[in-house]
Structure 1
Amino acid sequence: MANHVINVERREDEGKGASRRLRRDGKVPAIVYGGELAPVSIQLDHEKLWLAQQNEWFYSSILDLSLNGDVQKVLLRDMQRHPYKQQIMHLDFQRVSDDEVLRAAVPLRFVNEAKSPAGKTAGVVIMHELTEVNVACLPKDLPEAIEVDLSDLAVGGVVHLSGLKLPTGVEIPALALGPDHDVAVVVAKHAQGEADEAPAAGEGEAK
């Protein structure tokens, strides 16, 4: 698992006025909480943060927050964006412990869709019912993404949560709740228009 280091600074001033001043200076207010330590207010450089948050790993990987060389392992828990500007307003980071199981949403990465029997069949729509999945694991086992290989997906085929190939040490808690929680991840079916136009059995045959 790659290390992703995010440099931060301690934030001394609190309140909405202080946060507005930070944003005008190209900084982003944030907070780090969790574990046995008290919450700490921090600030990040907006330009560097904007580049980092364009990567998939920023949302699902363990991040190393470095405050003058003091590194704490955290997971991004919330990001507030401006409603119309390209601006990040605030971040929440949660500390993680190496020996404590955590829960996190991990993106799904779909591969070989075009090579599948369904992908090669005209008029078939392959629908991604989920784009991420909630997992439980130790921090060292947290994947940046879970790959979903669709090379064998047939027309009418369905990939359920239980059909995902999970990395070692990773579980999907929802599957322990019973069959009703084994929801579809991918569905391959004929487009609705074509299905509606398909003649019923015997329809149109000469009498």
Structure 2
Amino acid sequence: MKSLHLILLLEFSMKFIATARSVQGSSASRRLRRAGRVPAIVYGGTAAPLNIELDHNEIYHALRKEEFHASILQMQLEGSKDEQVLLRSVQWHAYKPQVLHVDFQRVDANQALRTKVPLHFVNAEISPAVKLAGAMISHVTTELEITCLPKALPQFIEVDLANILAGASIHLADIKLPMGVTYVPHGGEDNPLLAAAIVKGGAAAADDEAEAAPAA
């Protein structure tokens, strides 16, 4: 029986090998876990849901990689053709570092998908807020739910903080989303707050920073 093999490709897509499982139920799942395996399922598309099993240690370490959560994954199932899937959910043990179950969804290259991607905040250390006022950058939003075709799925969305001033904030409208990517609003909020430069001392410190900043 082959275990799960994860291969980081040049374009950061991931490939893994899984084994089909025919025995289902709580007792069968417990036996798998005792043997160092993880029960999982693949659903979606026109095919029926498929029960698979994965090697625990390898999927555990894969789940610690951010790109595994926001990439199109290529699943190689023994005896079947490759399928593109997306990680959908993970069930963890309540207090042990143990993966109990994993859900994957099949991906259709011609059908838009909906998922969450992380935000990467860059250049805070060279911003006027940090350099001149010693501000602390608060990452208010750490991920966004988006919709796009699979080929347009970004592993992350970059938020450039190079020009943020003390006391200022950055909203979604202040950044450019990757081509083909659309934000999915929640609760009627179509321009969420992403980051804020918080200054000790409040407005007075922010005013001092503004005076010290070079004129444009």
Smaller-chain TM-score bracket? 0.7 to 0.9
- The residue correspondences of 1:148-187 to structure 2 (distance < 5 A) are 148-174=159-185, 180-187=189-196
Q: Which residue of 1 aligns with 2:69?
A: 59
Q: What percent of counterpart residues are identical?
A: 44
Structure 2 residue identity aligned to 1:181: D
Q: Which residue of 2 aligns with 1:71?
A: 82
Q: In the aligned structure 1, how far is the partner of 2:52 from the partner of 2:171? A: 41
Helix, strand or coil for the counterpart of 1:13? coil
Q: Which residue of 2 aligns with 1:203?
A: none
- Is it true that 1:28 corresponds to 2:38 in the alignment? yes
- The residue correspondences of 1:51-130 to structure 2 (distance < 5 A) are 51-68=61-78, 70-130=81-141
Contact 2:133 2:166 in 1 (8 A): no
Task: Give, in angstroms, the shift of residue 137 of structure 1.
Answer: 0.5
- The residue correspondences of 1:7-22 to structure 2 (distance < 5 A) are 7-22=17-32
Q: Deviations over 1:32-81 (max 9, x none)?
A: 00000000100001111122111111111111111026211111111011
Q: In the aligned structure 1, how far is the partner of 2:57 from the partner of 2:169? A: 42
Q: Which residue of 2 aligns with 1:205?
A: none
Q: Which residue of 1 aligns with 2:202?
A: 195
Stretch of structure 1 that moved more, 13-22 or 63-72: 63-72
Q: Deviations over 1:149-205 (max 9, x none)?
A: 111111122111122222111111329x97x421110111223xx23998xxxxxxx
Structure 2 residue identity aligned to 1:188: A
Rg larger in 1 or in 2? 1
Structure 1 residue identity aligned to 2:193: A
Q: Which residue of 2 aligns with 1:37?
A: 47
Q: In the aligned structure 2, how far is the partner of 1:44 from the partner of 1:121? A: 51
Q: In the aligned structure 1, how far is the partner of 2:133 from the partner of 2:173? A: 28
Helix, strand or coil for the counterpart of 2:23? coil
Q: In the aligned structure 2, how far is the partner of 1:171 from the partner of 1:160? A: 15
Q: In the aligned structure 1, how far is the partner of 2:173 from the partner of 2:131? A: 25
TM score, norm. by length of structure 1: 0.87
For structure 2, the 5+ residue unaligned runs are 1-10, 206-216
How many pairs are equivalent?
Answer: 194
Q: Which residue of 2 aligns with 1:201?
A: none
Contact 2:127 2:165 in 1 (8 A): yes
TM score, norm. by length of structure 2: 0.84
Q: In the aligned structure 1, how far is the partner of 2:59 from the partner of 2:67? A: 13
* RMSD, aligned CA: 2.0
